[in-house]
Amino acid sequence: MRLLATRLDEAAGEITRLQGGSVAVGLPITAPRELAHYERPLRDLVEWCHSSAADLRRRAAVAAQADLIPSSEGANLHEALKTAAAGGIDAELAAFDMLGADVADFFAGLTPGRALAVALARAGEVGGRGGAPFELRFAANRHLVRLAHAEAVRVGDKAAADRYKRLLEPGRRLLLFDPRGAGRIAEVKGDLSSATSVTVMVPGTGNDLSTYDRSPLGALLAVHRLADRFSRGKTATIMWLGTDLPPNVPAAATRLYAERGGPKLREFMEGLDLADSVNTTAIGHSYGSTVTGHAVRAGLKVDNLVAVASPGWGVDEAADLKAPTTRLYAVRHPDDFISVVPPIDGLAPPLSSLGHGADPVFMDGVTRMASGNDDQLLPVGVNLDAHSDYFAGAGRSRVATHNIAVIVAGGCPTTFEAARAAR
């Protein structure tokens, strides 16, 4: 196909040469004069040659992508890409490109093979598309990771290549992947199609795709293992990094990242199309809690909202979230440095975007959970390590993780007051 595309471009170039450049730029015929009558048809022919060559190259690129798929992953993936490259689903692709919100109905009307072919040929659109079947989103995002891995290898970016190789390991299932810029990713543990409890976690400042396999993935695994055990295998847990987060502490003082990310989180969770009976939880750590607060303020409906080491939900009172049916929880070690970060709302421009409201652990209507370090009577509030010590199976973070998992599974956590009273 690439060879034929080259020949078509060469033919277009020869026609243009014979026309003295007029085919390309629309000038009067200069040579040879006897071809003047065919100026318009020849110009159309040149355009057809170029567009056909471009289409052949696109199809060749799709066909070449099949070579990136190891045989262990199944012949159906190879067949789907070959079908797309050969034009076997052109009508379906055209229909998909015109879709509005009826994505689920579109895929339901296709055979499994054709649905997979559309998902792979339009991986960038299907991977993060709300309403698309989960299995197709997983397949599309896995394909995007393959392409990113191949590109990283091509340019010699070993760190990125290693990162993407880990994402291609068996059992990794992504609902979102985009390597551009700071990157986007959302990974799920558990079975979304049968889960009775679904949780979305948002990490904090300094996290992006390059850091995902460190603390965000560790937090995801820690919460999911316990919550899934408590729910007897009926929990699905998602780590969502679908927006830019502040790269450093000074940038985390502004609400701008949360104001942009909140609506994106709402759209992502709504796109899961979960049944009303599913117990939903949004968990934000550090600045991630600010993102979840802005998502709720933007209309996200969840059963539970959990703030972990939060600088604030972006409100001064729980009622300002305008989520009367959402159960509100917060957890913070007494010596976490975030406790001494002062509220700085209400400043005049150009500082008006700074500040995140009140501390959720002190809000009326919010249940403060035990954190595992609640026996400290005189917290000094300057322990930097404490701020990241909430998600693990050992040490003081074990208590915080246990309480969060209990909420996810639909139970009642140990409160801060009860832990203090029992010391």
Above 90 in pLDDT, residue 351?
A: no
Which residue has better confidence, 49 or 326?
326
Average pLDDT of the chain to the nearest whole number: 86
pLDDT score of 24: 47
pTM for the model stands at 0.86
- Token output for 92: 């379906």
Above 80 in pLDDT, residue 327?
A: yes
Above 80 in pLDDT, residue 345?
A: no
User: Which residue carries 């889960």 as its tokens?
Assistant: 195
Distance CA 104, CA 116 (A): 13
Which residue has better confidence, 72 or 145?
145
pLDDT score of 315: 93
pLDDT score of 29: 44
Mean pLDDT, range 61-86, rounded to an integer:
81
Predicted confidence (pLDDT) per residue in 222-272, tens digit: 999 999 999 999 999 999 999 999 999 888 888 899 999 999 999 999 999
Pick from 121-125, 272-276, 419-423: least confident? 419-423
pLDDT score of 22: 47
Distance CA 371, CA 128 (A): 34
Above 80 in pLDDT, residue 15?
A: no
Predicted confidence (pLDDT) per residue in 209-225, tens digit: 999 998 999 999 999 99
Distance CA 17, CA 355 (A): 65
Confidence band for 53, pLDDT divided at 50, 70 and 90: low
Confidence band for 33, pLDDT divided at 50, 70 and 90: low
Distance CA 142, CA 126 (A): 11
Mean pLDDT, range 55-60, rounded to an integer:
66
Pick from 170-184, 195-209, 408-422: least confident? 408-422
Bridge partner residues of 307 (DSSP) = 284, 330
Q: Which of 15-19, 350-354, 374-378, 389-393 has the highest mean pLDDT?
A: 389-393
pLDDT score of 23: 45
Which residue has better confidence, 310 or 375?
310
pLDDT score of 375: 58
| Pairing status of strand 327-331 against strand 366-368 | parallel
Which residue has better confidence, 36 or 68?
68
Q: How many residues does the chain have?
A: 423
Among 1.10.10, 3.40.50, 3.30.390, 3.30.420, what is the CATH number of 185-423? 3.40.50
pLDDT score of 60: 73
Mean pLDDT, range 373-387, rounded to an integer:
64
Distance CA 65, CA 69 (A): 7
Q: Is 360 exposed, middle or buried (0-12, 13-18, 19+ CB in 10 A)?
A: buried
Mean pLDDT, range 337-362, rounded to an integer:
67
CA angle 175–195–277, rounded 5-degree value: 110
Q: Which residues contact 193 (CB under 8 A, 6 or more apart)?
A: 134
Write down the domain spans for the chain: 2-68, 185-423
Above 90 in pLDDT, residue 46?
A: no
For the chain, what is the HEC assignment?
CHHHHHHHHHHHHHHHHHCCCHHHHCCCCCCCHHHHHHHHHHHHHHHHHHHHHHHHHHHHHHHHHHHHCCHHHCHHHHHHHHHHHCCCCHHHHHHHHCCCCCHHHHHHCCCHHHHHHHHHHCHHHHCCCCCCCHHHHHHHHHHHHHHHHHHHHHHCCHHHHHHHHHHCCCCCCEEEEECCCCCEEEEEECCCCCCCEEEEEECCCCCCHHHCCCHHHHHHHHHHHHHHHHCCCCEEEEEEECCCCCCCCCHHHECHHHHHHHHHHHHHHHCCCCCCCCEEEEEEECHHHHHHHHHHHCCCCCCEEEEECCCCCCECCHHHHCCCCCEEEEECCCCEHHHHCCCCCCCCCCCCCECCECCHHHCCCEEEECCCCCCCCCCCCCECHHHHCCCCCCCCHHHHHHHHHHHHCCCCCCEHHHHHHCC
pLDDT score of 373: 75
